[in-house]
Amino acid sequence: MENGISKHKEQRIEEKIAQFREGQKMEAVQEIIEFDKTPSDLKADMDRFVIGQDHGKKIVCTAIAFHYRRLGQALKKGLAESKGDIDIALRSTRTPKANIMIIGPTGCGKTYTGETASKLVGVSFVHEDMTKFSEVGYVGQNASDILVDLLLAAGGNPNVAQMGIVYFDEIDKIATETMAYKDVSGRGVQKGLLHMVDGSDNTVHIGKERIFLSTKHVLFIAGGAFENLDIIVKKRMARQGLAGNWRQFLMADDLVEFGMERQLIGRFPVRVVYDQLTTQDLKNIMIKSEDSALLAFRNDLDAWGINLDFTDDALSEVARRAEQEGTGARGLVSVLHRVLLEDMYCLPGNYTGKLVVDQTYVKERLG
Ligand SMILES: Nc1ncnc2c1ncn2[C@@H]1O[C@H](COP(=O)(O)OP(=O)(O)O)[C@@H](O)[C@H]1O
Ligand SMILES: [Mg+2]
């Protein structure tokens, strides 16, 4: 009776809290299990955010929709067999996985695709930069770090964490000695990843708790620029007398020649090559994407009661300048920032209502 609550009540409260937790635990999981979007539905949703990359998005969306549909069906069966115990269902099911590799120049939407997909499916997303592994030369402890990141992204729900998406960024930086990265020995790092990508069981210790986490159901997406990979493919095509767009002829062999371990490449069977974004793509991002840099500036100014508007030729000018930066859609942020800097600095000034930016205005600001 220390805190004025009777033992009986305390026990009942504990039970209620446990029930509540269990309920929440299942609710979040249920959403993923019930995933039933078709690949084309998922792509249609993704088109609202990720502009261009039509062919690539088709492949990625098909792989992701199938992964979660397959997992959902398997878990439903597992739940029926385990009388509704999700922990048992997760441990006892195994589904074939088709991890994804996205190759393409910087700022073309590789990471953004993974991130957007995770939101659309309703799963947690973790972004891991592979450069940090290439620097130390091994994966080791990082496997459980990644699992902890997933757990955090899943709001502490281990079951949700185990169904998330892990995005390996700059995967090409762990290539063994190649044309592009001469001083890095990534073999150890690549071998270390195999286990995790296949599905390894781990127990992470958090305070007094020991939490079981497996990567068995985690979908891995790897992204990288793979600079000069086209040269490798084109050389092989010439040797074999093949003609056409190198992107369609990319094989595991080419990635192996680049410096990737065959075993690791084999675990990323779905491979797509994204294109460099064109000036028109960059313009479309500002016009159509529901989450663009321009929209962010618009919202910023909206908070000051200013309605920001760009004329069509101003958007073309911004897109052209951004294209020249050679950093893909990232160029939009820096160009827009330069265009709007003066206005943002002078806020609130004597602005009222509308701020219309036309081509002359853009040219003046950018010189
Ligand atoms: N195809 C695209 N459509 C819409 N926005 C994009 C696209 N590509 C990149 N972006 C924007 O640029 C940012 C950086 O892109 P990101 O996907 O991280 O590039 P990377 O291909 O280097 O991984 C994204 O957060 C997004 O805002
Ligand atoms: Mg990226």
Q: Which secondary structure element, helix H or strand E, spans residue 206, and what is its range?
A: strand 201-206
286-332: pLDDT as tens digits: 999 999 999 999 999 898 888 999 999 999 999 999 999 999 999 99
> Residue 135's pLDDT band (boundaries 50, 70, 90)?
low
How far away, in angstroms, is 113 Cα from ligand 1 center? 8
Q: How far is the CA of 107 from the centre of ligand 2 (A)?
A: 7
CA angle 192, 196, 201 (to 5 degrees): 125
Q: Which pLDDT score, from 0 to 100, does residue 218 have?
A: 95
**Quick one: pLDDT band at residue 141, thresholds 50, 70, 90?**
low
- Residue ranges of domains in the chain: 7-273, 279-366
Q: How many CA atoms lie within 13 A of 78 on its CB side?
A: 18
Residue 159 in contact with ligand 1 by CB distance below 6 A: no
6 C-alpha to ligand 1 centroid (Å): 57
Whole-number pLDDT of residue 201: 86
Residue-wise pLDDT tens digits, 246-258: 999 999 999 999 9
| pLDDT greater than 70 at residue 211 | yes
- Expressed in angstroms and rounded, the spacing between residue 282 Cα and the centre of ligand 1 is 10
The arrangement of secondary structure in 279-366, i.e. its CATH architecture, is: Orthogonal Bundle (1.10)
Which residue has a Cα nearest atom 19 of ligand 1?
Answer: 107
CA distance 280 to 323: 10
Residue whose CB lies within 8 A of the most ligand 1 atoms, among 43, 102, 106, 112, for a mutation test: 112
- Asked whether 102 lines ligand 1 (CB < 6 A), one says no
Most confident of 84-98, 189-203, 312-326: 312-326
* φ, ψ (nearest 5 deg) of residue 168: -90, 105
What is the band of 110 on the pLDDT scale with cuts at 50, 70, 90? very high
Cα dihedral angle (344, 345, 346, 347), rounded to 10 degrees?
A: 50
Q: Is 53 in the pocket of ligand 1 (CB under 6 A)?
A: yes
Phi, psi of 15, rounded to the nearest 5 degrees? -65, -45
pLDDT band for position 177 (cuts 50, 70, 90): low
Residue 113 CB burial class (10 angstroms; 0-12, 13-18, ≥19): buried
For residue 187, pLDDT beyond 80: no
Which ligand 1 atom sits closest to the C-alpha of 285? Answer: 4
What does the pLDDT read at residue 183? 46
In 3D space, the residue among 207, 332, 336 whose CA is nearest the CA of residue 277 turns out to be 332
The H-assigned helical ranges of the chain are 7-33, 39-47, 54-81, 86-92, 110-121, 131-136, 142-153, 158-161, 187-199, 229-240, 252-258, 262-266, 279-288, 293-302, 312-325, 330-345, 359-366
- Specify whether domain 7-273 bears CATH 3.40.50.300: yes
Ligand nearest to the CA of 225: 1
Mean pLDDT, the chain, whole residue set: 89
Closest by alpha carbon to 105, among 222, 184, 223, 221?
A: 223
Average pLDDT over residues 88-94: 90
**Cβ 187 vs Cβ 133: under 8 Å:** no
Share of the chain above pLDDT 90, in %: 63
Task: Tell how far the Cα of 25 is from the centroid of ligand 2, in angstroms.
Answer: 31
Each residue of 323-333: pLDDT tens digit?
A: 999 999 999 99
Q: Reduce the secondary structure of 29-71 to three states and give it as a string.
A: HHHHHCCCCCHHHHHHHHHCCCCCCHHHHHHHHHHHHHHHHHH
Q: What angle do CA 114, 119, 124 make, to 5 degrees?
A: 80
